[in-house]
């Protein structure tokens, strides 16, 4: 798959997830928030909650859920989230790490608290 096509598919999946989050009352704080050590696809918030969302486009329905976000990637996402919080948020808020799976037919499976900082 060509890189431009892969990026387009990724952006489309992120758009679908961002639209869903907005319908659920979230504000989108950032998209593709990046530091040198990683990137978070969507950062969404409600008054007392921030969701750091990793979006995965899945065309094969037979994937292993345990392999979604390897621990090494989780550590990078956590580090980027901490950088975001240090820069933009001084108040105490609940944070969670979610994963959104987008299928070719545009169905979204949304997993809240897909992993934790521990």
Question: What CATH number corresponds to the domain at position 82?
Answer: 3.40.1350.10
Q: Give the number of C-alpha atoms closer than 13 A to the C-alpha of residue 28, restricted to the C-beta side.
A: 18
- Rounded to whole angstroms, the Cα distance separating 71 from 75 reads 6
Q: Residue 61 pLDDT more than 90?
A: no
How many other β-carbons are positioned within 10 Å of the β-carbon of residue 47? 8
pTM for the full model? 0.87
- Rounded to whole angstroms, the Cα distance separating 40 from 52 reads 7
- Which pLDDT does position 89 carry in this prediction? 72
- Rounded to whole angstroms, the Cα distance separating 17 from 106 reads 10
Q: Number of structural domains, the chain?
A: 1
- Which pLDDT does position 118 carry in this prediction? 72
- Rounded to whole angstroms, the Cα distance separating 117 from 75 reads 8
């Amino acid at each position: 798959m060509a890189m431009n096509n892969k990026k387009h598919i990724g952006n489309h999946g992120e758009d679908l997830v961002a639209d869903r989050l907005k319908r659920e009352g979230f504000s989108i704080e950032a998209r593709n928030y990046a530091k040198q050590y990683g990137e978070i696809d969507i950062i969404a918030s409600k008054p007392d909650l921030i969701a750091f969302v990793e979006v995965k486009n899945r065309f094969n329905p037979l994937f292993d859920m345990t392999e979604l976000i390897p621990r090494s990637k989780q550590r990078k996402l956590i580090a980027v989230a901490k950088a975001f919080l240090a820069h933009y948020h001084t108040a105490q808020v609940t944070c969670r790490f979610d994963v959104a799976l987008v299928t070719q037919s545009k169905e979204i499976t949304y997993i809240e608290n897909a992993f934790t900082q521990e």
